[in-house]
Structure 1
Amino acid sequence: MPGEGLAVTDLRPGEEEALNALYNETFNFSRSLAAWRWKFQKIPLRDLVVVRCLRRGGELVGQGASLPMRFRVLGREVVAGQMVDFGVRPSVRFDLALYRLNRILLKGLRETWMAQGMPFIYGFPNERAYRFHKRIAGTRDFLWIPVWTRWLNPLGRFLGRVRSKSLLAAGRLVSRASWCRAAQAARARAAGGTLRFFSLPEPDERLDRLWEKAAPAYGILSYRDRRQLAWRYFEKPGRPYDVWLLADELGPLGYAATSVHEEDVRVGYMVDVFGEPPWTRTVVHRTLERLALSGCDLVRCLAVESSVLGRGLADLGFSRESQQVPMIGLIFDSALEKESFFDGRNWHVTYGDFDGV
């Protein structure tokens, strides 16, 4: 019978592999168990992680979770919850009893978040999850964040979707040569200067110094201190990121985290960019140089259009795509119910704020 034996429970010991398999089935993904453990068991503030399961007759058929994320919000230090992994097994997606059970799951999670003192919770859902959260959880739109792109390969944009490998390779040679000449000219002009942009093999105290110095210049952003960045970029299984630091003789000025993916073309993602606002444009430009020299055809980045990063991307020739990523959520602290919380100019959001790249 539909609805028979339905229950909402916590994750039970030893079920991690089954829950991760359910995630892969639900989202047509191939996340490893090591990546699941990194995400849920090695995150800072792991004691505040919440994982809830939907069961039918004892079988796992759905899940919903939240990760604790430290934030600076208009001068306040808070911990907010990021909604992740919400979904049900495709074979039972249209079971109305499960639809009602999801309401129970979300009600329980909401009570947990409020008991933990979280002023707000948020998420970056795909299209299906966006409709689900709006309808079932009553979430609100916080932001719509555009994706920005810039071609590095001068031939890439003219080849259409069916791309010639030989022409792409030729374009990469042209791109590398162009960026090499520009980099050499820049170094000649800056001869005797101390500005450096270099790979950071391990997280160190310079990331804490950068966070303490730069964070007060931003209105709303998640933590980017050494502890958080170590988990996000250096400890993820397979470590698919490079972290680059911009510094002078007085200390760090900014960083970028990048990841290169082979798609229709070779895409370099600026997963994260952060630093003192006057140096943001320099960090982006130096990152473009590194991605060009590594043979990337196209660069993608995520940023609020009116933010410091968004303006820097526009200045450096990035184009705003039609694609936008929604940021939704619920507010539990009435002190945040003001225009400044929803003003995109106050937010700093990148791909690094969720496990999407």
Structure 2
Amino acid sequence: MAVRRYQPGDESQIQTLFQKTFHQERPLDAWEWKFKQNPKHKEPFILVFEENGKILGHISLWLMSAYIKGCVETVGVRVDTMVDPDARGKGIYKHLNDALIEEGRKAGITYLYGFPAPKAKELFLRYTGASHLTDMPRWMYVQKPVSLLASKLSLLKVLKPLDRVYGKIRKSKKTPHGYEVKRITRCDDAFDKLAEKTKHTADGLVVRDAVYLNWRFFDHPVHHYKMTALYKQGQLQGYVITHEKEGRFRNGMIVDWLAVDDDAWRALLEEALSVLREADIVQSWALPSMMPAHLMKKNGFVHKDSPMPLVGKEIESDNTDMNDPDKWFITPGDVDSY
């Protein structure tokens, strides 16, 4: 039994292990998008634990270019850590994490971070010396309070028209912002320039250049996103990515956004709420030190909860100060599940 790198042909066993571990099917094209089409990967960064020809464990990274204090470095986002439920107790998780740190060092990765489930978090901290930076705050804005209540109490459905009145009152308070607004279906080199302009938004943030944004959002095989961009005098000033999901209620999500200054941030929030105007609620993540957190709080969003832990592990010793959550810019788009 041993830990080894991914080899072509492992897909079938990996997909079977995913279904057995997480109790959900994953289309093969979603796996290929995630690991084979990522433009920041030369090859999939996947480690498997194999015994007698059977894959019993799996750990992997999204490799991303990131601005760390303004310089482009490689970071790894932990995804799809799993051990066959019938093989637990063999120390497989520890073997995988030990190999991950060593292989990450060989690959020149500066920093590892991720958003693990509670048990995975506990083991990751124990076996690697990683740090629990914080729990990601989730912010929520109720656009249709009656519809939201009616999703829990059907008797209130007759009152849904009141939401239209509430929406008109809210719309009347919208402030003209003076930007040219465009719907984007493919990013061009203007987004490379925007990434460079905004590289000091935080000490740590993924490089949101055109090739990354096109792959992450427009090439996704399952989710469908909308991108709205702001321009002034022909120059890109910011963008926002939104997504809607139907369920008991209509959930709108601000998945990712980036802007050159405070005015553009404010305009992006207005445009996001306009795009998501049919959603009952709008949600997003934002760390307290981030401009989006201050902006959303000022505009009626409430801190609903903090359900997702953020853990990190420095690979190079001179990056220990990156264990401070205030140094990071993170959105739901940094996670593969959104």
TM-score under structure 1 length normalisation: 0.87
- Counterparts of 2:206 and 2:235 in 1: how far apart (Å)? 22
- Counterparts of 1:155 and 1:238 in 2: how far apart (Å)? 30
The corresponding residue for 1:277 is 261
- Counterparts of 1:9 and 1:119 in 2: how far apart (Å)? 21
Residue 54 of structure 2 is aligned to residue 70 of structure 1: no
The corresponding residue for 1:331 is 314
Change (3 A) 1:60 1:334: closer
Deviation at 1:48, TM superposition (A): 5.3
CA contact (8 A) 2:57 2:96 kept: no
From 111, 128, 132, the equivalent of 1:120 is 111
- Counterparts of 1:73 and 1:46 in 2: how far apart (Å)? 19
Change (3 A) 1:77 1:251: same
- Counterparts of 2:96 and 2:267 in 1: how far apart (Å)? 46
The corresponding residue for 1:12 is 7
Residue 288 of structure 2 is aligned to residue 288 of structure 1: no
From 13, 25, 28, the equivalent of 2:23 is 28
TM-score under structure 2 length normalisation: 0.91
From 96, 108, 126, the equivalent of 2:89 is 96
Deviation at 1:172, TM superposition (A): 4.9
Secondary structure, aligned partner of 1:119:
strand
Change (3 A) 1:171 1:222: farther
Query: 60-69 or 11-20: which moved more?
Result: 11-20
Deviation at 1:57, TM superposition (A): 2.9
From 123, 133, 139, the equivalent of 1:132 is 123
Deviation at 1:115, TM superposition (A): 1.1
Secondary structure, aligned partner of 2:214:
helix
CA contact (8 A) 2:39 2:212 kept: yes
Deviation at 1:354, TM superposition (A): 1.3
- Counterparts of 1:107 and 1:120 in 2: how far apart (Å)? 15
CA contact (8 A) 2:68 2:205 kept: yes
Query: 66-75 or 159-168: which moved more?
Result: 159-168
Task: Spell out the pairing of 1:1-357 with structure 2 (5 A cutoff).
Answer: 6-47=1-42, 49-92=44-87, 95-97=88-90, 100-156=91-147, 158-159=149-150, 161-163=152-154, 166-167=157-158, 169-170=160-161, 172-174=163-165, 176-178=167-169, 181-182=172-173, 186=175, 193=178, 195-278=179-262, 279-292=264-277, 295-338=278-321, 341-357=322-338
Secondary structure, aligned partner of 1:35:
helix
- Counterparts of 1:317 and 1:239 in 2: how far apart (Å)? 27
Deviation at 1:254, TM superposition (A): 1.0
Matched residues, percent identical?
A: 25
CA contact (8 A) 2:137 2:305 kept: yes
Secondary structure, aligned partner of 2:137:
strand
CA contact (8 A) 2:149 2:156 kept: no
- Counterparts of 2:237 and 2:158 in 1: how far apart (Å)? 38
> What is the letter of the counterpart of residue 280 of structure 1?
W
Secondary structure, aligned partner of 2:42:
helix
Query: 214-223 or 162-171: which moved more?
Result: 162-171
Deviation at 1:24, TM superposition (A): 2.5
Query: 129-138 or 115-124: which moved more?
Result: 129-138
Deviation at 1:264, TM superposition (A): 2.5
| Aligned-pair Cα RMSD in Å | 2.2
- Counterparts of 1:251 and 1:73 in 2: how far apart (Å)? 25
Structure 2 residues not aligned, in runs of 5+? none
Change (3 A) 1:101 1:270: same
- Counterparts of 2:199 and 2:324 in 1: how far apart (Å)? 18
CA contact (8 A) 1:68 1:81 kept: yes
- Counterparts of 2:156 and 2:35 in 1: how far apart (Å)? 40
Deviation at 1:31, TM superposition (A): 2.0
Deviation at 1:22, TM superposition (A): 1.6
Change (3 A) 1:14 1:306: same
Structure 1 residues not aligned, in runs of 5+? 1-5
